[in-house]
Amino acid sequence: MLAMEDIMVEPPADGEVVDPMAWFDSPGPFELEIGCGKGGFLLSRGRAHPEVRLLGIEWANKFYKYAADRMARWKLENVRVMRTDAKVFVMHHLPAACIDVLHIYHPDPWPKKRHHKRRLIQPPFVEAAVRSMKAGARMLVQTDHPGYFEQIQTVIAGHDGLREIAWEEAGYIPDEDWGGTNYEIKYAREGRDIFRIAAQRQ
């Protein structure tokens, strides 16, 4: 059984390019979740797919620790969490063609116009993300913010290396018990629309 310390992986040093498989006992398909929050998706996906190696990245210390503790309590061997800035991690520390599935659920929308530049999903980030995806890998993005969704659609459509595919084709639903990420559940209860887009690396 893994201790919390085994589940929490250190962020890379300046200039370091990681080998994601080095964090796991054996190799397998690699999936990355950006902004994993309390780890609801990681838990569900990790339990339903023991063959998958999952890394959740979370910036907020409180959520990061909560997620790691959750994975330890459920005795998941195939999930790791890292506390770092996911944008920097993807742009500077991931090797090319290592990701099988990239999950981004409810990224912070930064609704004020003057804060839009802080949004994660912009061309330089997507360029780096695509470089880190294997041929045929999928990217799934979900948000409750219509304005941000429009921007996400435009950025994805504007990248030659990505082809939009049906959400169902991207293989999102991990098991029958899955109720959604924490934010998805909260917003669905409030009756808000949820917008989804999936794309495949060419």
Place of tokens 């310390």: 5
| Residue partners of 113: CB distance under 8 A and separation at least 6 | none
Report if residue 59 touches ligand SAM, rule: CB under 6 A.
yes
Interaction with ligand SAM in 163-192: which residues (CB under 6 A)?
A: 181-184
Question: Which of 30, 42, 45, 58 touches ligand SAM (CB under 6 A)?
Answer: 58
Nearer to ligand SAM, 160 or 190 (CB): 190
* Interface region with ligand SAM, contact rule CB under 6 A, candidates 6-14, 85-93, 124-132, 153-161: 85-93
Cα dihedral sign for 183, 149, 173, 134?
Answer: negative
Contact 128, 140 (CB under 8 A): no
Shortest distance (Å) from residue 57 CB to ligand SAM: 5
What is the amino acid identity at position 116?
H
How far is 107 from 128, CA to CA, in rounded Å? 17
- Return the residue nearest ligand SAM (CB atom): 35
Binding residues for ligand SAM, how many (CB under 6 A)? 19
How far is 100 from 116, CA to CA, in rounded Å? 28
Interaction with ligand SAM in 138-157: which residues (CB under 6 A)?
A: none
User: Known catalytic residue: 108?
Assistant: yes
